[in-house]
C-alpha cells in the first residue's frame, strides 16, 4: 500500500517572530487560502496515500500540531512523536519502521510539512510516478525541482538533463548548498535540480539502507516501533537522510518537477506566495509604504505598519515581537533567535 510520511519537526526560526518554538513555521497560515503549510502537506499526502498519512513531529509540538490539524478538519491524521529532534534520517526511519510493522510492503512518499506548491495537481502526478517506480523497481528516489533562480539555500542534484520533467532519471551527483557564482553556473547549465527533501522509497528498501549505513539508528527505530523504550532515540546520530543514505546509496533516481515549489525558507520567500502589489511590495495585513518598494510587510490583525523611505526591507509584527530586516539578509533572522537565547529573553523565542 502507499503511505505518506509528513516531516513536521522544524523549529522554524527562519520565520521568527511569526514562528516561535511553540508555533513552528508549518503551523502558520501561509497558504494563500489561509491554510497552514502542514494542512497543505497533509492534503498532498492524502491525495496519493488516502488515509495512510503519518506525521512525524517533536513530542513537545504534538499538542500544537493536533490543534492545527483539527482546525483544518484533519483531526484524524496519525501523529508520531519524536522524543527529541534527531534530523531526518532518524525521523524517516522511525516512520518507516512503524509503517512496515503493519504493512511490510509499504511504499512511502516523504514530504516536508513546511513547503508551498503552486501546482498541487502537477506535484501529485510526480509523486504517484515516484511511488509506482518505488513499487516496480524498489528504487530510492528524490523529487528534483527545476530551479528558477540561483538559490544558495538548497542542495542540488546533478542529472544529465534537468529540463524534461515528469520522468524518472538517474541522479549523477548530490551537491551541497553552492555559493552564488556556482549556483548561477548550475542554473545556466540545465543539468541541476533543487533537492526538495521529498523522497519516494519502499519501507523495506529504506530500512535496509539504514541497516547498512546507520545500523544503530535502524535498530533503535525498529525497537521503538515494536514498543521499546523511546528514550533510546536520544542516542541516535543527528544526521540528514541525504547525508546518511541518499548520497551513498546506489541507483538513486529523481523526477524533475516544475510545480511552483517553494520551501518558504525565509520572509524573502513570501512575495512568491502572496504576490506583489503595483509598488512591488508584499503586504499582509494593514500596511502603508511611502517612498519605497520591494518591501515585505506582515502584521497582526488591527496593527498598522507604515514604512517611509525604505526599500528591500522586511517588517514583521507578530504577537509581542517585531522584526525589521534587510530583505537580502532574511536568513539572518536566526541571529536574532540566538541573541534572544544569549540574553535570556526566552519569552520571545
Residues that bind a copy of itself (CB under 8 A): 17, 286, 288, 290-291, 299, 302-310, 313, 315, 317, 320-326, 328-329, 332-333, 335-336, 339-340, 343, 345, 348
| CB atoms near residue 288 (< 10 Å) | 12
Please, which residues bridge with residue 117 across strands?
A: 261
CA-wise closest residue to 54 among 121, 20, 123, 103:
103
CB nearer a copy of itself, residue 195 or residue 281: 281
Please, which residues bridge with residue 195 across strands?
A: 144
Smallest gap from Cβ 85 to a copy of itself, in A, equals 24
Smallest gap from Cβ 245 to a copy of itself, in A, equals 35
CB nearer a copy of itself, residue 165 or residue 286: 286
User: In whole angstroms, what is the distance from residue 269 CA to residue 262 CA?
Assistant: 7
CB nearer a copy of itself, residue 118 or residue 303: 303
Q: Is 270 helix (H, G, I), strand (E, B) or coil?
A: helix
CB nearer a copy of itself, residue 92 or residue 337: 337
Smallest gap from Cβ 162 to a copy of itself, in A, equals 33
Smallest gap from Cβ 299 to a copy of itself, in A, equals 7
CB nearer a copy of itself, residue 109 or residue 333: 333
Give the dihedral sign, CA 208/210/195/108.
Answer: positive
CA-wise closest residue to 165 among 259, 44, 45:
259
Q: In Å, how far from its chain's centre is CA 249?
A: 22
H/E segment holding residue 204 = helix 203-213
Smallest gap from Cβ 153 to a copy of itself, in A, equals 17
95: left (phi over 0), alpha (psi -120 to 50) or beta: alpha
CB nearer a copy of itself, residue 240 or residue 331: 331
Smallest gap from Cβ 15 to a copy of itself, in A, equals 13
CB nearer a copy of itself, residue 275 or residue 302: 302
Please, which residues bridge with residue 142 across strands?
A: 199, 254
| CB atoms near residue 181 (< 10 Å) | 10
Cell of 95: 516512520
Smallest gap from Cβ 25 to a copy of itself, in A, equals 18
Half-sphere exposure of 187 (CA within 13 A, CB side): 14
Q: Whats the size of the chain, residue-wise?
A: 349
User: In whole angstroms, what is the distance from residue 171 CA to residue 160 CA?
Assistant: 8
CB nearer a copy of itself, residue 39 or residue 268: 268
Smallest gap from Cβ 341 to a copy of itself, in A, equals 12
Amino acid at each position: 500500500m502507499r503511505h505518506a510520511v509528513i516531516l513536521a519537526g522544524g523549529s522554524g526560526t527562519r520565520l521568527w517572530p511569526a514562528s516561535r518554538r511553540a508555533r513552528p513555521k508549518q503551523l502558520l497560515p501561509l497558504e494563500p487560502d489561509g491554510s497552514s503549510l502542514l494542512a497543505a502537506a497533509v492534503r498532498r499526502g492524502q491525495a496519493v496515500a488516502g488515509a495512510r498519512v503519518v506525521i512525524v513531529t517533536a513530542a513537545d509540538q504534538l499538542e500544537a500540531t493536533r490543534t492545527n490539524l483539527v482546525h483544518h478538519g484533519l483531526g484524524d491524521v496519525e501523529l508520531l512523536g519524536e522524543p527529541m529532534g534527531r534530523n531526518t534520517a532518524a525521523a524517516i526511519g522511525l516512520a518507516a519502521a512503524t509503517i512496515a510493522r503493519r504493512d511490510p510492503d509499504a511504499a512511502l512518499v516523504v514530504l516536508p510539512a513546511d513547503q508551498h506548491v503552486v501546482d498541487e495537481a502537477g506535484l501529485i502526478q510526480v509523486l504517484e510516478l515516484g511511488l509506482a517506480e518505488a513499487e516496480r523497481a524498489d528504487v530510492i528516489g528524490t523529487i528534483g525541482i527545476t530551479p528558477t533562480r540561483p538559490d544558495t539555500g538548497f542542495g542540488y542534484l546533478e542529472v544529465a538533463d534537468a529540463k524534461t520533467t515528469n520522468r524518472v532519471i538517474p541522479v549523477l551527483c548530490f551537491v551541497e548548498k553552492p555559493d552564488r557564482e556556482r549556483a548561477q553556473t548550475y542554473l545556466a547549465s540545465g543539468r541541476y535540480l533543487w533537492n526538495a527533501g521529498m523522497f519516494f522509497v519502499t519501507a523495506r528498501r529504506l530500512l535496509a539502507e539504514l541497516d547498512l549505513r546507520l545500523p544503530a539508528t535502524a535498530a533503535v527505530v525498529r525497537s521503538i516501533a515494536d514498543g521499546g523504550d523511546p528514550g533510546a532515540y536520544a542516542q541516535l546520530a543527528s544526521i540528514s537522510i541525504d547525508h546518511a543514505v541518499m548520497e551513498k546509496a546506489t541507483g538513486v533516481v529523481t523526477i524533475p518537477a516544475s510545480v511552483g515549489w517553494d520551501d518558504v525558507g525565509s520572509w524573502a520567500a513570501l512575495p512568491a506566495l502572496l504576490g506583489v502589489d503595483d509598488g512591488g511590495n508584499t503586504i499582509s495585513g494593514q500596511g502603508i509604504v511611502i517612498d519605497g518598494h520591494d518591501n515585505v510587510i506582515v502584521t497582526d490583525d488591527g496593527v498598522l505598519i507604515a514604512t517611509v523611505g525604505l526599500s528591500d526591507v522586511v517588517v514583521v509584527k507578530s504577537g509581542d515581537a517585531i522584526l525589521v530586516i534587510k530583505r537580502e539578509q532574511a536568513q539572518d533572522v536566526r541571529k536574532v533567535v540566538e541573541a534572544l537565547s544569549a540574553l535570556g529573553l526566552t519569552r520571545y523565542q
